[in-house]
Amino acid sequence: MSPRTAGRDILYVAAKAPRPGLAKTRLGRQIGDANAIALYRAFLRDLGARLAPRGARHGYDLGWYITPPDAWPEIGPLLAPQAGVGPMILPQGPGDWTARQVALFAGAAGRGEGRTILIASDSPQLPLATIAEAFRLLAEHDLVLGPVSDGGYYLIGMRGWHDVLGGIPMSTATVTRQIAARAAEQGLSVGWCAPIFDIDEAADLPQLCRVAQARADLPATRAALAACGLLERHGALAAPPAPTLTPFMSPGDGGSDDR
């Protein structure tokens, strides 16, 4: 484990401009681009509403890691107003998703960051408690990962910079396992957050419908699902068994380029 790294704590949300053909492309091919983009806008609204008032209270800053560079005029109006200083807006820059994550974490010290966490924007149900747990884990570990069942991750965080991403292809069934193995090779300690699901394809929507109906903090997602006719279609289905994941089998769109 590396020495404790000084600097501020910050949570970044990886987000794309909600444009057809750019965001939620896999989902768009299955339910139509208009429906997929309406859902993605709702995800951003609900995440923004949940995160903006809470970050400072929990001791971390909030940032948005956006693409393309001109995306903010389309993302910003979807988010809840934030008192005082607004969130940090950081364009992702060029390269594939691996390179853009490397750029974020490699530049953390230069931005005055000690513990840096990046989450995907396609898990609108992400609990605040999970984010708090991720920062707590980074007080004890060099790296933190939050897996999803398809082999990817919805959350990745580092305390300091560690080159555990370079050369690892994203959007594979082994990406999180590869990152953990790279960390082990370097003698780094990895903390694990609880697994959650993400929304990449139509098959993920029944579970989202059930959660949206049960949770009060997903109003935009619930409304978008209803407007698309998805709540009526999927909301009453019986819940499937929860996936059983072990840290090393783990692994979302934190690791997917289809955010």
Tell me the domain boundaries of the chain: 8-234
Whether residue 127 contacts residue 155, with contact meaning beta carbons closer than 8 Å, is answered with no
Identify the residue whose tokens are 């069942």: 149
pLDDT, tens only, 33-49: 999 999 999 999 999 99
φ and ψ of 71, to 5 deg: -75, -25
Query: Which H, E and C letters describe 4-27, residue by residue?
Result: CCCCEEEEEEEEECCCCCCCCHHH
Q: What is the pLDDT of residue 107?
A: 97
pLDDT, tens only, 53-78: 655 567 899 999 999 999 999 999 99
CB burial of residue 257 (10 Å; 0-12, 13-18, 19+): middle
Q: What is the pLDDT of residue 3?
A: 46
Q: Is the peptide bond before 91 cis (omega within 30 degrees of 0)?
A: no
In CATH, what class is 8-234? Answer: alpha beta
* CA distances (Å), origin 10, targets 13, 23, 48, 62, 153: 10, 24, 15, 6, 18
Return the structure tokens found at 142: 């060099």
pLDDT, tens only, 8-25: 999 999 999 999 999 999
Q: Which residue, among 227, 194, 190, 192, has the nearest Cα to 212 in the 3D structure?
A: 227
pTM: 0.88
Segment 102-130 mean pLDDT: 97
pLDDT, tens only, 217-236: 999 999 999 999 998 887 65
